[in-house]
Structure formats: structure tokens, C-alpha cells
A = this chain, B = another copy of it.
């Protein structure tokens, strides 16, 4: 009856060799399936082929495993946002919107990370490393907002970059957690979450006085790269939303 476990053991020996990593991977899969709440320490151990007590050699407790995953998640998140931002190329507004799409893409493609980071209820502030990682990710948005704010049309008061960053973050997180994940994604929407967020951001930027109908703006921005005939996903003609019937 227990030949399974014995065989497992025979295959890999008494010592696993890479248990910590195996546990992280197992947990990632389980969280993606059943959410951080449904994820079980014992299940991860089973999946790695070790006893229920083994994980305690690598993580103080279940929460520490979760924190480790959230930590990695923030790091990957930061890296993806940074890549999307691409230092503002080919122009600030285009790059800014690409960051928004990257946010949603991450939430969709890495549900386990996203869950651990934002929906697991673990106290980010209680863990300095975690908090720092979270802050580094946010700083990508913040830096992008900074560049954008610097381009504010002359004559109008310049919007605080920090505020813009918080606004953008809240929009992206709102769309992701309400419409882009799990079964909530099944709400019938008139448009895809990506389109929804893109329109939202465009309208917001327009509210700040940024020209958004054509990119790059014909304003004072020095194009770091010759503008390509970009953006198959750019603004549809007639504004950020489809043409009204």
C-alpha cells in the first residue's frame, strides 16, 4: 500500500536535495488552484514527496512560506513593470499605458503570486523585506508617474507624481481584482479588462490635461526614439471608448 512513498524515497534517497525550492513550486501550483486560503502546508509536503514535518526545516511556519512567495512575486512584478516601462520608450504616454497592461497581465498570468501578494491577507508591513520589495515594485509606477508629471501641459498646475502613481495603482488593482481574476472575471463586461483599464487611464490622463488622442504628444516631449507606427492596441478613433451608437 505504501509502495508509492517507498518508491519515491528510493528514487531520491532520504534527503530530498532541493526541498525548499520544491515546496515553493508546489505551493505556487496549489495557490493558483485553490487560492492562498485553501492552500495547505501538508499538501505541499505531500506533493514534494516528504513528510508533513519536513517543511519546518525550511520555513518557520506556513505563513513564512506564503511570505516567501509574496516576496518573489513582488520581485517578478517589479521586473515585469520595469520591462514594460522600458524607460519611457518610445514615448512617455505609450510606455505608461504599457505598464498598466503589464500590471493586468501579471495578475492574470501569475495568479498565485498575485494572490499571495495582495489577497492572502498576510501583513506586508510586519515583514521589512516584504515591505521593501513591495515598495520597489511601486516605485516603478512612481518613477513613471514622475516622468509623466514633468510633461504636464504648461499653464496648468503640475499634478503631484506620487498622487498620480497612487491613482494609477488603485485603478489597475481595482480592475485586476474585480474583473480580471477567478470567477469574478466571468461578470459580463462590455469590454475586456485590458480595454477597460486602458480607457480608464486615458480618460484620467486627459483629465490632467495630457493630450491622449495621438501619441507621441506633439507637446514638448523629446522623443528618445523615432516614434514607430506603434500601438495596434492604441486609442481607437473617437476617444478612449468605442464609438457611441
Chain A residues in the interface with B (C-beta under 8 A): 35, 37-38, 118-119, 121, 123-126, 156-160, 162-163, 166-167, 169-175, 177-179, 182-184, 186-187, 189-191, 196-197, 199-200, 202-208, 238-239, 241-244
Q: A173-B178, A204-B200, A207-B203 are in contact. Are A190 and B157 (CB under 8 A)?
A: no
Of all chain B residues, which has the CB nearest A120? Answer: B37
Given the complex of chains A and B, what is the CA–CA distance between A119 and B119 in angstroms?
Answer: 7
Q: Are A124 and B183 in contact, with the CB atoms below 8 A?
A: yes
Chain B residues with Cβ below 8 Å from A118 are: 177
24 A–B pairs (Cβ distance < 8 Å), ordered by A: A35-B121, A38-B121, A118-B177, A121-B182, A123-B182, A124-B183, A125-B186, A157-B241, A159-B241, A159-B244, A160-B190, A160-B241, A160-B242, A166-B196, A167-B199, A169-B174, A170-B174, A170-B179, A172-B174, A173-B174, A173-B177, A174-B174, A174-B175, A207-B207
Residues of B contacting A35 in the complex (Cβ-Cβ under 8 angstroms): 121
CB neighbours (8 Å) of A178 from chain B are: 169-170, 173
Do residues B157 and A126 form an inter-chain contact, with CB atoms below 8 A? no
Whether the Cβ atoms of B171 and A244 lie closer than 8 Å is no
